[in-house]
Structure 1
Amino acid sequence: MAPVRRTLELFYDVLSPYSWLGFEVLCRYQHLWNVDLQLRPSLIAGIMKDSGNKPPALLPRKAQYLTKDLTLLRHHFQVPISLPKDFFSVILEKGSLSAMRFLTAVHLDCPEMLENVSRELWMRIWSRDEDITEPQSILAAAQKAGMSAEQAQGALEKLSTPKVKQQLKDTTEAACRYGAFGLPITVAHVDGQTHMIFGSDRMELLAHVLGEKWMGPVPRAGHAKL
């Protein structure tokens, strides 16, 4: 009898570089572990507000550490992270509401494109220091990720619809109910139990919960770099 397939929910926001690391690791492992990976676009600002947490960038020592941390993680995870030049403006002023609503619309209408579009938005903000807030920026990301112009425009036109706004709110609130105080969180559903794991640096703990083998952030030799 085949083992029961476990479900992993990844709650993420493209404003979070650590979400990108966790996202790439789980995308690499989803075909190696006996899991069903479900991507959950969420709004980190809503989670921060609900939990009373503050962005690391607001604390000088954390902000200083974050810069060095991401430089090391870039090589360890083989993910091309680079900090935007105007870091505080990107994180604290521009935010990611439009981008996350767009990913929510993609999730609803073109779920097969969600992984690629999410990755391209991360590439824009965290690798090429490009905008993710303006409509043309979002359309450019979607089309580069493989969406047709018609699909991308259709998703963009739904950003302010009650359905999309409610779905993003519901997903964010679901993350909060699981205990999120930041992103990413991975929620593993195993043998009738639910395990919430925070961050991108506890994937070996996730492997332990799943009873799977952890082979590092790049599990296969010669894994193609982004």
Structure 2
Amino acid sequence: MSIVWYYDFISPFAWLQWPKIKALAAEHPITLRPILLAGILDLCGQKGPAEIPAKREFTYRYTLWRARQAGVTLNFPPSHPFNPLAALRLCIAAGSSGAATEAIFDWIWGHGRAGDSIEALAPVAAALGIDDPVAAIADPAVKAQLRENFDAAVAEGVFGVPTLSIDGRLFWGDDAHEFALACLRDPSLWNEPEMQRVAALPIGAARQA
């Protein structure tokens, strides 16, 4: 079985799902793949929730409410959206490990600190044992791995983060986690007749680009 979690540190919903991913990883091996959400949005011709003013305000309020409901500490960074490239590359430089993912998420969303530059993330890098973080995130191998992660996401059809891929079946968003677990326990759920019917439902009308 292949289980992959695609995420970007820019997403508060990824932070909310992270405790559930850790719990799942205790039972099943999970590949952690940090990716650049902006690239996925560009490819799909979409705007992120934070790029639509009314949706941005609602999303921030809703995220806070969901965090409280789940008992998860959530503190927004000084500005959002922010450029997450340094955070993504730092994670990869640290091996895309659970410890690195945890440390970066906790810095940005647990403590509400900036994650938009390697200078801002220097304390995290030090805690992860990276002595020269500027050089680490500039390493061509790190940049290539981030691109490979993106290409893998595109190949799977990922359209947002966080996304949990279970044998190629995509479960988008923290709120889809229970659905993912249900399908993990009973893979036949995905292919029930009604599930198949709605997946192939004809499009009745489409907006012109």
TM-score in terms of structure 2 length: 0.80
Q: 2:10, 2:84 within 8 Å by CA — same for their partners in 1? A: yes
Deviations 1:34-75 (A, max 9, x none): x21111111111111111111101212211211221121112
Aligned residues: 186
Aligned residue number for residue 153 of structure 1: 131
Separation (CA, whole Å) in 2 of partners of 1:121 and 1:176 = 24
Equivalent residue for 2:153, pick from 172, 175, 185: 175
Displacement of 1:85 in angstroms is 4.4
Q: Which runs of at least 4 in structure 1 moved beyond 4 Å after TM superposition?
A: none
Equivalent residue for 1:203, pick from 177, 187, 190: 177
Displacement of 1:119 in angstroms is 1.9
Equivalent residue for 2:2, pick from 7, 21, 42: 7
Separation (CA, whole Å) in 1 of partners of 2:92 and 2:33 = 8
Secondary structure at 1:82's aligned position in 2?
coil
Displacement of 1:160 in angstroms is 1.7
TM-score in terms of structure 1 length: 0.75
In structure 2, list runs of 5 or more residues that go unmatched. Answer: 187-209
Residue 60 of structure 2 is aligned to residue 60 of structure 1: no
Q: 1:102, 1:156 within 8 Å by CA — same for their partners in 2? A: no
Share of identical aligned residues, percent? Answer: 23
- Provide closer, same or farther for how the CA distance between residues 97 and 25 of structure 1 changes in structure 2, counting only shifts above 3 A: same
CA RMSD of aligned residues (A): 1.9
In structure 1, list runs of 5 or more residues that go unmatched. Answer: 1-5, 213-226
Separation (CA, whole Å) in 2 of partners of 1:132 and 1:64 = 21
Q: 1:53, 1:181 within 8 Å by CA — same for their partners in 2? A: no
Q: What letter is aligned with 1:58? A: E
Equivalent residue for 1:96, pick from 77, 81, 84: 84
